[in-house]
Amino acid sequence: MVNYSPEPAEAPGSTALPPAVEARGVEVTRGSRTVLRGLDFTVPRGQITGLLGPSGCGKSTLMRSVVGTQAKVTGTLNVLGRPAGHPTLRTRIGYVTQAPSVYSDLTIRQNLDYFGSVLDPTRASADRRADTERVLGEVDLTSHADALAGNLSGGQRSRVSLAVALLGTPELLVLDEPTVGLDPVLRRDLWHLFHSLAADRGATLLISSHVMDEAERCHRLLLMRDGRILADDSPEALRTRTGSETVEAAFLHLVDEAAAHARAKETAR
């Protein structure tokens, strides 16, 4: 069984910096439907923050809002000390979507070289090549670097997408369900990598999932339901607060608590 430390490694000087993400009253509306409902939360630097909740609760919309690709976001949303979507954040954030974003007719190395040139066209080619080799080693794909992306397994394609996100050594990694569809061994290996990125590099990771056992591997959790955040705390604190043995049980307790509160408000009207 893999043991994960509940205490993140502190990046030198990180206490003097603003949070990686700070949201106040963030809302997103599509037509008559409110997808995100007045969210208030922070994502501390140098930690793994898990964004947990069932499919359709607003996790992907929130992640797009953080990386600046979601239109019509209201409220205040600051990322690495800048408003979300600020041009200077482009090279400071690595983003992995649910669908692996790689070109099937290119090799892994060619994919990384291409995305590296898009990320920073002014960077010297020798530096970009060195960056490619670095991330190939980080995601354990050096021996497959010349394989066509179209011939890779699902797990390998997920690693290539992560490698693309790691180009340029971003401060914040936003990973939208990066382990979905992977077998337990690959999931374990990726989580080892996530923890090493936080501990060794001081990177901040915001990782979404609907798999509750992954919650136990995070330093901090944002539990979502129906576009709202039910809790923002450490796994241990959530278990203690609800008297639960697991984060999943704590989540269900909070869902029931929120439903009871909504019924009480409705009755009082």
In terms of C-beta density within 10 A (0-12 exposed, 13-18 middle, 19 or more buried), how is residue 31 classed? exposed
The pLDDT of 42-56, averaged and rounded, is 93
pLDDT for 15 equals 52
Instruction: Say yes or no to pLDDT of 115 above 80.
Output: yes
Check whether residue 21 and residue 73 sit in a common domain. yes
Domain housing 164? 102-169
Is 267 part of any domain?
no
* Structure confidence at residue 155 (pLDDT): 81
The answer to whether residue 12 sits within a structural domain is no
Is 222 found in the same domain as 131? no
pLDDT given at position 165: 93
Q: For residue 49, which of 195, 183, 179, 160 has the smallest C-alpha distance?
A: 195
Q: What's the pLDDT tens digit per position in 11-33?
A: 444 457 899 999 999 999 998 89
Structure confidence at residue 207 (pLDDT) = 96
Among 115, 142, 169, which residue terminates a domain? Answer: 169
Q: b/e map of 184-211 (b: 16 or more CB within 10 Å)?
A: eebbebbbebbbebbbebbbbbbbbbbe
User: Which residues, listed in sequence order, are joined to residue 22 by a DSSP beta bridge?
Assistant: 42, 78
Residue 244 belongs to a domain: no
The pair of structure tokens assigned to 25 is 């009253």
**The two three-digit tokens of residue 166, written as one number:** 């790691």
pLDDT for the residue 228: 93
Q: Which of 169, 186, 210 is the last residue of a domain?
A: 169
- pLDDT tens for each residue of 127-175: 999 999 999 998 889 999 999 999 998 888 888 999 999 999 999 999 9
pLDDT of residue 258: 81
Does 1 have pLDDT greater than 80?
Answer: no
Question: CATH number for the domain including 57?
Answer: 3.40.50.300
Cα 228 to chain centroid, rounded: 17
Q: Is 55 found in the same domain as 188?
A: yes
pLDDT (tens digit per residue) in 209-243: 888 888 999 999 999 999 999 999 999 999 999 99
Into how many domains does the chain fold? 2
Residue 201 located in a structural domain:
yes
Shared-domain flag, residues 110 and 87: no
Give Dmax over CA atoms of the chain in angstroms: 68
- pLDDT tens string 50-101: 999 888 899 999 999 999 999 999 999 999 999 999 999 989 999 998 876 7
Same domain, 155 and 182: no
- Is there a single domain that holds both residue 226 and residue 106? no
10 within some domain: no
249-262 pLDDT per residue, tens = 998 898 888 888 77
Q: What is the pLDDT of residue 222?
A: 95
Asked whether residue 120 falls in the same domain as residue 179, the answer is: no
User: Residue 254 domain-assigned?
Assistant: no
The answer on pLDDT for 8 being more than 60 is no
Q: At what angle do helices 247-268 and 235-242 cross, to 10 degrees?
A: 60
Q: Are residues 83 and 190 in the same domain?
A: yes
Q: 44 lies in a domain?
A: yes
Domain boundary among 132, 150, 169: 169
Tokens of 136: 């190939």
pLDDT at 153: 86
Number of other CB atoms surrounding residue 3 within 10 Å: 6
Neighbours of 12 (CB within 10 A): 9
Q: pLDDT at position 14, please?
A: 43
Could you give the CA distance from residue 242 to residue 240 in angstroms, rounded to a whole number?
Answer: 6
